[in-house]
Structure 1
Amino acid sequence: MLKVVVTAGGTSESIDGVRRITNCSTGTLSSMIAERFVDYGLRTGKDLKLYYIHTDNCKMPSIKHGMEMLKFINATSTYEVKDTVEKLLTEEKIDLFVHCMAVSDFSMHCYLSMEELAGHIMEMNLQSQPTSKEDIIKHFQDLVPQEQKKISSKDDICMFMKRTPKIINMIKKISPETFLIGFKLLSGGSFEDLLASARIQILENDSDFVLANDTKNIGNGKHEAVLIDRHGDILGSFETKDHIAAGLVKMLVKKGVI
Structure 2
Amino acid sequence: MTIDISSINGQELEGKKILLCVTGSVSSMESPRIARELIKHGADVIPVLSHSASKLIGPELLHWATGNETITSLTGKMEHVKLANGDLDSVDLILVAPCTSNAIGKLAQGISDDTISTICTVALGSNVTILIAPGMHEPMFENPILQNNISLLKKNGVRFVSPIFEHNKAKMASFDDIFKEILNELFVQDLSGKNILITAGPTIEKIDPIRIITNKSSGKTGLYLANEAKRRGANVTLIYGEGTETPPISIRTLRVSSFQELFDVTTSELSNNNYDFYFASAAPSDFRIVRPFDDKISSRSKSSLNLELESYPKIINSIKQISPSTKLIAFKALYGNDSDSVSHAISEIFDDSNADFIIVNDVSRNDAGFSSDYNELTMFTRDDSFNFAYASKKKLSKSIIDQILKILN
Q: Which category of TM-score, normalised to the shorter sequence, fits these structures?
A: 0.7 to 0.9
Cα deviation digits, residues 146-169 of structure 1 (max 9, x gap): 5x2111212112111122231111
Deviation at 1:234, TM superposition (A): 0.5
Which position in structure 2 is the counterpart of 1:16? 208
CA separation of 1:14 and 1:203: change in aligned 2, threshold 3 A = same
Q: How do 1:228-243 residues align onto structure 2 when only pairs under 5 Å count?
A: 228-231=380-383, 233-240=384-391, 241-243=393-395
TM-score calculated relative to the size of structure 2:
0.49
TM-score calculated relative to the size of structure 1:
0.75
Q: Kindly tell me the number of residue pairs found equivalent between the two proteins.
A: 210
Which position in structure 1 is the counterpart of 2:396? 244
List, as ranges, runs of 4+ consecutive aligned residues in structure 1 with deviation greater than 6 Å: none
Deviation at 1:19, TM superposition (A): 1.0
Secondary structure of 2:306's match?
A: strand
Which position in structure 2 is the counterpart of 1:129? none
Which position in structure 2 is the counterpart of 1:102? 283
Deviation at 1:256, TM superposition (A): 3.6
CA distance in 1, matches of 2:366, 2:405: 26
* Structure 2 gap ranges (5+): 1-192
Aligned residues with identical type, % of pairs = 28
CA separation of 1:188 and 1:253: change in aligned 2, threshold 3 A = closer
Asked if the contact 1:30–1:100 (Cα under 8 Å) also holds between the matched residues in 2, the reply is yes
Cα deviation digits, residues 189-214 of structure 1 (max 9, x gap): 31442243123211111100000111
Does the alignment pair 1:92 with 2:243? no
Give the counterpart letter for 2:336 in structure 1: G
* Structure 1 gap ranges (5+): 42-47, 111-144
Secondary structure of 1:158's match?
A: coil
Secondary structure of 2:260's match?
A: helix
CA distance in 1, matches of 2:315, 2:389: 26
Does the alignment pair 1:172 with 2:324? no
Asked if the contact 2:247–2:253 (Cα under 8 Å) also holds between the matched residues in 1, the reply is no
Q: Structure 1 or 2: larger strand share?
A: 1
Give the counterpart letter for 2:396 in structure 1: I
CA separation of 1:62 and 1:85: change in aligned 2, threshold 3 A = closer
Does the alignment pair 1:55 with 2:271? no
CA distance in 1, matches of 2:218, 2:305: 29
CA distance in 2, matches of 1:236, 1:59: 26
Deviation at 1:225, TM superposition (A): 1.0
Give the counterpart letter for 1:73 in structure 2: L
Cα deviation digits, residues 45-77 of structure 1 (max 9, x gap): xxx3111000134324458xxx2xx21001110
Q: How do 1:55-204 residues align onto structure 2 when only pairs under 5 Å count?
A: 55-62=241-248, 67=250, 70-110=251-291, 148-153=294-299, 154-155=301-302, 156-204=304-352
